[in-house]
Amino acid sequence: MQTQDLRDAVLRHLTYSLGKDPAHAQTNDWRLALSFAVRERIVDPWFASTRATYGGKHKRVYYLSMEFLIGRLLEDAVVNLGLMDAADEVMSGFGQNLHNVLSDEPDAALGNGGLGRLAACFLESLSTIGCPAYGYGIRYEHGLFKQSFRDGRQMESPEDWLLRRNAWGFPRPEASFRIGFNGRVAERDGKPVWEPSEAVLASAHDTPIIGWQGRWANTLRLWEAKPVDIFDLDRFNRGEFAAAAEAEASARTISRVLYPDDTTYQGKRLRLQQEYFFTAASLRDIVRRFDSEYDDPAWLPQKVAIQLNDTHPAIAGPELVRILHDEKGMEIDRAIETARATLNYTNHTLLPEALEKWSEELMSDLLPRHMTLIQRIDEHHAQEKPNRKVRLIENGDVKMGELSFVMANRVNGVSALHTELMKQTVFEDLHAQYPDKIVNQTNGVTPRRWLLSANPRLSNLIAGEIGMDWVDDLEQLARLEPLAEDSAFRKAYRDAKRANKAELSQWFRDTHDVALDPDAMFDVQIKRIHEYKRQHLNILEAIALWQEIRDNPNGDWTPRVKIFGGKAAPGYVFAKEIIYLINSVAKVLNADPVTSKFLKVVYPPNYNVTLAEKLIPAAELSQQISTAGKEASGTGNMKFALNGALTIGTLDGANVEIRELVGADNFFLFGMTASEVVERRKVHEHAAKAIAADPRLARALDEIRAGTFSDGDGERFRSITDNVSGHDYFLVSSDFTDFWRASREVDRAYRDSTSWTRMAVLNTARSGWFSSDRTIRGYMGDIWGASAVPA
């Protein structure tokens, strides 16, 4: 019945929504027809969810984020609605392959990395749990750039996910707000009023996000920037064609592109405009919805919880105060208190270069009223904490982290270690003043996407043993634990991994023309390229290993394929050098007839959510090797452990919790701790000392300097070798020796496939805690005071 209905709906949409004759329909048309047919089934639960929220006067959660790295949506929706088999049958009936149809969808990359992907997992968990929530962000015309390699170097080209029709967004031109910039603060009846001199329209697009089993759906509302006046007809008529469209172009610029920086912050006017644009539109929408139900703005904190995803929406503090005070006439200190009781802030990084600051000059120019309100908030804070050291404005800069902290009811870190370090470092003084404000909520990942749909072989195996309850109660995976001792189960588990590896190898052959040995260990490091993540440590280890294999080609080596994936921010020169080095090393190693059967390095370009979904299920070793104290949490690390890859890692971010849960015996630990790192940096010439103590490291560096990977040009990778042997802030040299030791331990462990599989099973069985459902329940209880609506 389900199949018949779905078939009819697909055909109906192909014909009447897309105007295509089945005889001439292309994959893209079938994909859109299926998407519309599936979307149709989301609409009723979506409306029902909205009605239930209004009817029960439930508290709503609003997640404000500059980034939502959602990837493809069709498969998510099909899986959550339980339509996988039906869709497969229907598509085959039309002579289409469901897998090809699903793969045709552009990967919506409206984010850079972990922070954006976390937001996407959270939306899905909020819907699965049935917590009334909205995600608010920007509908970038171009998401994260496309990466390609030319002669080993990163090239960037614009991403174009909207070129083909987007099946998921419902445009809501009626939901538009005028967002002002610049101008001045005037006084009317003795009260300050902001009179902006420029404005753009924020126009909404809604995407329903359906939870597991279609019980609940929330909304992701993304704002598109449009001109207030479409077009200057006078100028056009005067023949000034380009000038006539200028206002439009400049308005649209605001939602044109995603800033491609990950954990580095760029102080650009456009960035601040983007931040204010989406924050102001979202707050107006939130307040409008609140006003439609309640008369008294004092009720706001009871009915609304707003989460600021990092400082990017930090302007929400002064903006909400402006709305409550300037527009609704609430007394200023009460307005500050009310806003503060409503807002919460998640910190995602301690890296100083990522902590946003805006010059007072820019802020006063672009948002003059907000600048005066920030001063007022600063005073309010001064009265509250007279012995304070912290100022919101310092050396001519507004500090957005401090502003967010002061304006938040709760501030959270994203792993236990990160939260502790927040208390000890960036927010030490503020934490002393508000000792109850900082709480921890360790990140999580949605098991629907990262296990059930990305890894059907493992999911089926699990389902055969413990049923399907784990899908929305991931700690049920603990029931697999005894099976680690069951040789038949281990074999099935190993077979599933082997089949995933074979499939990935086939993909590499088809798309990149490289042959991988599916019996080699698949060792994967996929994440943004950043010095603190230390992809250069990993490639140095590969060089050293290659040298040893060459010395002893008949040795008993454990075959390995090292897989890298990740983009570098276009302006991050050092990260791009690392990419170039990895590709250059890969070229030499893979062409070596003697060593390449033991060691290969591959680096597929354009790593994104879709590629992650292919790589993670096939991975056996997960590289989580950041300098301790630098990776706030990581979420890839959780996806790997869940899919049965063992971690080689430092005590950083959520690695610490992963190791605690999966057990120290099932985790390859190496490297300095966060406090050792701090101490080590004080050692004079620490890098030179580490190199002098480790001939392997010295030799690997010399090999680069000799030009082996650069056609004899010894200068090409000087920036890297100089850094690692010189300043070496991220302590690549100091951690190398222990990384080498742990890597060889991995080699030994891999050779005993029984015990390796046992460890892998235990990783899966003990990763249930890393579900984003658990994280969201934590936010609901500790931060938002929100509840799920009973079904």
Judged by the rule CB under 6 A, the positions of this chain that interact with ligand CRA are 113-115, 118, 262-263, 310, 348-349, 354, 414, 443, 631-635, 653
Catalytic annotation, pick one of 322, 348, 410, 448: 348
* Residue 516 or 645 with smaller CB distance to ligand CRA: 645
Find the shortest distance in angstroms from Cβ 263 to ligand CRA. Answer: 5
Query: Shortest CA distance to 124 belongs to which of 60, 207, 51, 52?
Result: 207
In sequence order, the 6+-apart residues with CB closer than 8 A to the CB of 681 are: 729, 731
Which is nearer to ligand CRA, 274 or 633 (by Cβ)? 633
Q: Is 431 a catalytic residue?
A: no
Q: Are 234 and 200 in contact (CB under 8 A)?
A: no
| Active-site hit among 381, 418, 497, 527 | 527
- Comparing CA positions, the residue from 430, 426, 500 lying closest to residue 459 is 500
528 belongs to the catalytic site: yes
CA distances from 576 to 157, 476, 573, 585, 716 (A): 15, 42, 5, 14, 13
Minimum distance from residue 133 beta carbon to ligand CRA (Å): 18
**Nearest-10 crossing angle of helices 84-93, 2-12:** 50
Does the active-site annotation cover 437?
Answer: no
Active site residue 348: yes
CB of 703 to ligand CRA, least distance (A): 31
DSSP annotation of 64 reads: E
Smallest gap, in angstroms, from Cβ of residue 719 to ligand CRA?
23
Q: CA Rg, the chain, in Å? A: 27
Q: In the complex with ligand CRA, which residue's Cβ is closer, 215 or 357?
A: 357
Closer CB to ligand CRA, 66 or 366, in the complex:
66
Q: Known catalytic residue: 595? A: no
Nearer to ligand CRA, 330 or 414 (CB): 414
Alpha carbon distance 277, 181 (integer Å): 9
Q: What is the bridge-based pairing of β-strands 560-565 and 521-526?
A: parallel
Closest residue by Cα to residue 606 from 147, 156, 154: 147
Shortest distance, position 630 Cβ to ligand CRA, whole Å: 8
Residue 36 or 122 having the CB closest to ligand CRA:
122
Helix (H), strand (E) counts: the chain: 33, 24
> Of all helices (H) and strands (E), which one includes residue 33?
helix 27-55
Active-site residue (options: 533, 567, 758, 766) = 533
Give least dist CB 144 to ligand CRA, A: 12
Q: Which residue's CB is nearer to ligand CRA, number 114 or number 617?
A: 114
User: Strand order of the sheet with strand 393-394?
Assistant: 357-359, 397-399, 393-394
| Active-site residue identified among 410, 528, 600, 696 | 528
CA dist., res. 62 & res. 223, Å (int)? 14
H-type helices in 56-138, by residue range? 74-80, 84-93, 98-103, 114-129
Q: How far is the CB of 466 from ligand CRA (least distance, A)?
A: 29
Using a 10 angstrom Cβ sphere, with 0-12 exposed, 13-18 middle and 19 or more buried, the burial of residue 457 is middle
CB of 417 to ligand CRA, least distance (A): 11
Of 13, 381, 639, 659, the active-site residue reads 639
* Token pair recorded at residue 264: 């580095």
Q: Minimal distance in Å, beta carbon 265 to ligand CRA?
A: 8
- Integer Cα distance of 413 and 349 in angstroms: 9
Amino acid identity at 784 = W
Nearer to ligand CRA, 560 or 630 (CB): 630
Question: Which is closer to ligand CRA, CB of 449 or CB of 716?
Answer: 449
C-beta neighbour count of 448 within 10 angstroms: 26
**CB-closest chain residue to ligand CRA:** 114
Q: Which listed residue (635, 757, 764, 775) is catalytic?
A: 635
3-class secondary-structure state, position 726: coil
The span from the CA of 439 to the CA of 653, in Å, is: 15
The catalytic residue positions are 348, 527-528, 533, 635, 639
